[in-house]
A and B are shown apart, each in its own frame.
Chain A
Amino acid sequence: MLLRHTPEEVSERKALTINPAKTCQPIGAMYASLGVHGCLPHSHGSQGCCAYHRSTLTRHYKEPIPAGTSSFTEGASVFGGQANLLQAINNIFTVYNPEVVAVHTTCLSETIGDDLPQIKKKAEKEGKLPEGKYMISASTPSYAGSHVTGFASMVKSMAMMAEPTGKKNGKINVIPGWVEPADMEEIKRLTGLIGVKTILFPDTSGVLNGPLSGEYTMFPEGGTTMAELKSTGDSTGTLALGEWCSADAARELDSKHKVPCSVLDMPFGLAATDRFIDALRTLAGVTIPDEIAKERGQLVDMISDMHQYLYGKKVALVGDPDQLIAMTEFLVSLDMKPVHIVTGTPGKKFEKRIREITAEAGFEVNVKAKGDMFLLHQWIKNEPVDVLIGNSYCKYIARDEDVPYVRWGFPILDRQGHQYFPTVGYKGGLRLLEKILGVLLDRLDRDAPEEKFELVL
C-alpha cells in the first residue's frame, strides 16, 4: 500500500492539509497568460515559484513553458522588488521581445506589498517597457483561493485591456475557463460551425499543443491577440464558462463597458453543452445547424447503448469547482452516482450547487470545498466506489483501493492526450464516456470468472 498511513476513521483537521486538491494562485495566472498571443508570463517573486510552475505545466503538456522571474533575493524581500521587476522588464524586452509581458505576484511580493500598476508606470516612464508593447498584471497571493483564483484573476486582467471604440464588432466574447488547449480548439470549432464570430480568451490552443518541426519559437502562432482583447469591449455579449474561472472577467466587461454577460457552466456533458449552444443561439440570433444536432444525437445514442454499464455506478470525484459541477451533472444524467466530491478550492456555492444537482438523484453525497485528497481517500475507504475521476495524484488511491480510474483535470503527469482530444462539447462528452466505459469494462473483463467471460459487451 502506498498510502498505507491513511486511516479509515475520519477525524477533524483544522490546521493540517494532507494531499491537497488544489495548488497556488500563480500557476493559474501563468497558464492563463500563455493563452495570449506573444505573451511571456512573468512571476514576481523568488525564482523557485517560477521553476515549480514551469515544471508542472511542462510535465502536464510536454511542451516548453517559457516564463520569467524577478529572482528575489533576501535584499529584494526586505526592500521591495521594484528594482528587480524593472530590470526584468528591460531584460525581457531586450532578449525575448514578446508582445506582452503578463506579470503575476506571489506570496512573497504580496506579503511585502509590491504595487504592480505603480511599477508598470515607472517602467513606462523609464522607457523599459517599449512603445507598442504591453504589460498586464494580476495580483495572485498564494495564501488566498487556489490555482483557479489565480487563473480567474489573470483572465480578468485580460478583460481590463478592453478599449471600446463605441462601434460594435458583431462578435461574442467566450471565456472558456481553465480547460485544455484541445477544449479551446473544440469550442472554436463549435462556434465556427454555428457561424458565430467570437473572441475566445484566453486561448492556449496552438501554444501548448505545438508540432515538432525542427524549429523552436518562444511565441507560437496561437493565443488571443492584444487587438482581440482590446476589442472585447465592443462585443455583443460575453459567455463566461464557469463561475470560478471566468465570471469575474465577464462581469468586468459588463459593468465597465456594458457588454452583457451570462455565466454558464463549463460545457462538459450533455446538459451543460446544450445550455452553451442554446446561449450562443439566442445571443447571436442564429439557427443551430443540423451538424450540431447530429453530434448531440451521437452522444445520446452512446448513452442509451451503454446505459446498462453506467447505471447506479458510484463515482468519487476530485478537481476544480467549475469542472466538477459540470461533471457531476453529466454523471447524474447518466444515472451514475457521484457520491464523494472534493475540491481544494474554497467557495460555499460549490457545495450548494453539488447538492442541488444531486438532490433528486436519490443518494447521499459527500461534498467538500476546501477539502483534500486525504479526506476523499477516507471517504472511499468508508464507502467504496466503482470509478474514481481526478488528476494524476489519484493513481495512488486507485492502486491502493483497486478502483477503476479516469484521469481528468490538472495536473495529468503520467498520461497523454488531454492537449489533443477535447472533453468539452458533445464530441468531448463521447470521449469522457469512452474513457469511463473503458475502465469499467476493463474491470468487468479482468474480474469475470472464466465461465462468465464474454466477447460481446
Chain B
Amino acid sequence: MATATKEKSVQWEPADIKAKLLEKYPPKVARRRAKQIMINEAQQNETPSLTANVRTIPGIITMRGCTYAGCKGVILGPTRDIVNITHGPIGCGFYSWLTRRNQTDAGADGDNFMPYCFSTDMQEQDIIFGGEKKLAAAIQEAYDLFHPKSIAVFATCPVGLIGDDIHTVTANMKEKLGDCNVYAFSCEGYKGVSQSAGHHIANNQVFRHIVGENDEEKPGKYKINLLGEYNIGGDGFEIDRIFAKCGITCISTFSGNSTYDQFASSHTADLNAVMCHRSINYVADMMETKYGIPWIKVNFIGAKSTAKSLRKIAEYFGEKELIDKVEEVIAEEMPEVEAALADITPRTTGKTAMLFVGGSRAHHYQDLFSEMEMKTISAGYEFAHQDDYEGRQVLPNIKLDADSRNIEELEVTADEKRYKPRKSDKELAALAKKGYRFKDYDGLAPDMDKGTLIIDDLNQYEADKLVELMKPDIFCAGIKEKYSIQKLGVPMKQLHSYDSGGPYAGFKGAINFYKEIDRLVNSKVWGYMKAPWQENPQLSASYNWE
C-alpha cells in the first residue's frame, strides 16, 4: 500500500529514486526501463541519451493509448464539418465520441458533426466475409443523410487483419458521389507503439487528400497556420483572440476549431507556427517542401511564452506595423497577468510539480509553473520521440526500429505551380544572423534543471512510486492517472484533455491556470483525509472546563 504524507522528504538523490523505481521489476523489464529514465544533465547532445518511442512492455500498466486514438481522436476529432466514420466494431467509435474537450464554434447554422458518432459497427459476418461492402453502404447512407463536403474513414484493428481495402472503397465513393471528398486512414490500433503513429498517419492523409484543395486567396495580412493546437477547453479561442487583436490572420489551425476548408486552404499561408511538435511536425515539414512555407516552433502556454511567440511571428514578417502592434498587445495584456501572479505566487512559490503528458505538453506547461515560481522536479512524455526530449539535432542519430519503419513516410516534392519561397535567401540569411531559428526545437531536457528526472512512458507503478518518494505538490497527467494519485493526497491536474476549466493558453489562459493551480495546491480538502480520532488515537480524557 502506497502512502504519501504531507511532510516533505528533505533530500532525495535522483540516482536513488531511479533505483527505487526499477527495483521491483523482473530483470529484463528493469533493463529496458532503465534506458527510459534519465537523470537530466541539461545538455544538448548530438546522440540521444534517453530511449523513447519504443514498445510498451506488456502487463506494465501504461498511460498510452493507440494509433487510432492519435489519428481519429486527436488530429481529426476537432474538425467539425467532416463526417468521421469509424470502420470497425462499435467500441473505438464510442470511446472517442465527445470524450476530448475540443471546443468548436460552428455558429448558429454551420456544419458540426462533432456531437455525432458514426460507425460501421462491424459484426462477426463482416469480420469473416469482409467489411468493404458495408463500409461503402455506410458512406452512402452518411452522404444521403447529411451531404457533407467530406467523409473520412478510420480503420480499427480488425480491419487491417482481414484486409479490407478501405482506400479503394473511399476512392470509389469519392468518384461516385462527385461533390464529397472521401478518404481513409489506416490507423489500426496495433500500429506503432503509441498514439504517435496515429498522428503521423493523420498528417500524411490530411496532407495528401486535403491540403492544397482550395487555392482561393483568403483576405487578411500576416497569414499563418497554427499547427498542433487542439482547442482543448477553448485554448484555441484565446489564441485566436490574441491573433485577431494583433492583426495576424490565422488561415488554419491543425486542428482545434477547424474546418475542412481551413486545411484545404492552408497552403496559402506564409508561415507555419508549430505548437505541438510531436503531433504535427510532419505536416510542417511537408508543407515547406511542397509549398515553400517555412515553419517555426512557438508556444502559447505561459504568458511570457505567448509574448515570445508573438514577437517571433512578428519578427518573421518584419513589418513595423505588426511588430509595434504585437508590443502594444503585450503591453496591454500583461498587467492583468502580473496582477494575478502577484496575488498567487506567495502561495505557490517553492512548490513542486511533476508532468507526464503528451508529446509537448510536459514541456510547455513547465513555463506556466515557472511563472508561478514552482519547480518541475520530474517530467516526461507519454508518446514522444527522442527529438522531443533532446532537440531536433539528435534526429540524424535516431535509429528507426521496425515499429517506426512500418509507418509510411510520404515522398514530397515541390509543387510545380504552387511552390513559392516566402522569403528570399537574403532575407533568410538576415534573419539567421539575428539569431532567428527556423525548423528548430530544443526539446524538454535543456529547459529542466540538472538532476531532475526525465522519464519516458511513465507507468502507473512508477507514477505512484514517484509520488510516494518525492511528494510533489501537484502531479499532471491524464484521466487514467488522476484518482490513484489523488488517493495519495496529492492534487492531480489533467493536462491532455483538461479535467475541467480552461483555456490555459495565451494571456487570459495563463491567469486561469495560475488560479487553478492555486486552487489545487492550496485546497483545504487535502487536510481532511484523517478523522480527528485517527490523527490523535490516544484516549486521554480531560474535562473541558479545566
Q: Which residues of A contact B488 (CB under 8 A)?
A: 214-216
Q: Which residues of B contact A69 (CB under 8 A)?
A: 56, 58-59, 61-62
Does any Cβ of B come within 8 Å of A151's Cβ?
A: no
B59 and A88 contact, CB distance less than 8 A:
yes
Does any Cβ of B come within 8 Å of A72's Cβ?
A: yes
Chain B nearest CB from A94 CB (Å) reads 5
Does any Cβ of A come within 8 Å of B400's Cβ?
A: no
Given contacts A13-B141, A17-B118, contact A144 B94 (CB under 8 A): no
Q: Which residues of A contact B57 (CB under 8 A)?
A: 71, 87, 91
B157 and A16 contact, CB distance less than 8 A:
no
A16 and B85 contact, CB distance less than 8 A:
yes
* Interface residue total, chain B, C-beta cutoff 8 A: 96
Chain A nearest CB from B310 CB (Å) reads 34
B126 and A143 contact, CB distance less than 8 A:
yes
Q: Which residues of A contact B190 (CB under 8 A)?
A: 46, 72-74, 76-77, 108
B65 and A111 contact, CB distance less than 8 A:
no
What residue of chain A has the Cβ atom nearest to residue B467's Cβ? A216
Does any Cβ of B come within 8 Å of A167's Cβ?
A: no
Does any Cβ of A come within 8 Å of B464's Cβ?
A: yes
Q: Which residues of B contact A42 (CB under 8 A)?
A: 59
A90 and B26 contact, CB distance less than 8 A:
yes
> Residue A52 contacts which of B25, B69, B140 (CB distance < 8 angstroms)?
B69
Chain A nearest CB from B514 CB (Å) reads 25
Does any Cβ of A come within 8 Å of B112's Cβ?
A: yes
Chain B nearest CB from A128 CB (Å) reads 10
CB interface residues, B 475-512, toward A, < 8 Å: 478-480, 482-489
Given contacts A16-B85, A20-B93, contact A143 B158 (CB under 8 A): yes
Q: Which residues of B contact A56 (CB under 8 A)?
A: 95, 99
B62 and A27 contact, CB distance less than 8 A:
no
> Residue A24 contacts which of B3, B65, B91, B403 (CB distance < 8 angstroms)?
B91
Q: Which residues of B contact A210 (CB under 8 A)?
A: 487
CB interface residues, A 5-41, toward B, < 8 Å: 5, 7, 11, 13-20, 22-27
CB interface residues, A 128-144, toward B, < 8 Å: 141-144
> Residue A107 contacts which of B97, B117, B156 (CB distance < 8 angstroms)?
B156
A91 and B66 contact, CB distance less than 8 A:
no
A213 and B487 contact, CB distance less than 8 A:
yes
Q: Which residues of A contact B85 (CB under 8 A)?
A: 16
B95 and A52 contact, CB distance less than 8 A:
yes
Chain B nearest CB from A143 CB (Å) reads 4
A304–B191 CA distance with the chains assembled, in angstroms: 60
A370–B190 CA distance with the chains assembled, in angstroms: 28
The segment out of A59-67, A268-276, A349-357 that lies at the interface is: A59-67
Q: Which residues of A contact B115 (CB under 8 A)?
A: 2-3, 396
Given contacts A73-B55, A215-B3, contact A20 B134 (CB under 8 A): no
A27–B489 CA distance with the chains assembled, in angstroms: 28
Q: Which residues of B contact A58 (CB under 8 A)?
A: 479-480, 482-483
Does any Cβ of B come within 8 Å of A212's Cβ?
A: yes
B99 and A142 contact, CB distance less than 8 A:
no
> Residue B119 contacts which of A20, A76, A96, A215 (CB distance < 8 angstroms)?
A20
Does any Cβ of B come within 8 Å of A106's Cβ?
A: yes
Q: Which residues of B contact A143 (CB under 8 A)?
A: 89, 122-124, 126-127, 158
Does any Cβ of A come within 8 Å of B24's Cβ?
A: yes
CB interface residues, B 106-153, toward A, < 8 Å: 109, 111-113, 115-124, 126-127, 134-135, 137-138, 140-142, 144-146
A218–B161 CA distance with the chains assembled, in angstroms: 35
Does any Cβ of A come within 8 Å of B193's Cβ?
A: yes
Chain B nearest CB from A159 CB (Å) reads 24
**A–B Cβ pairs within 8 angstroms, 19 of them:** A5-B112, A15-B141, A20-B90, A51-B65, A58-B480, A70-B58, A74-B403, A89-B59, A90-B59, A94-B24, A95-B59, A111-B157, A141-B89, A141-B124, A143-B124, A212-B486, A212-B489, A213-B529, A216-B484
A59-B479, A73-B192 known; 13 new pairs, CB 8 Å cut-off, are A48-B66, A49-B91, A58-B480, A77-B190, A88-B59, A106-B157, A107-B122, A111-B157, A142-B89, A143-B89, A143-B127, A212-B529, A214-B3
What 6 A-B pairs have minimum CB-CB distances, sorted nearest first? A48-B66, A24-B91, A88-B59, A91-B59, A15-B137, A142-B89
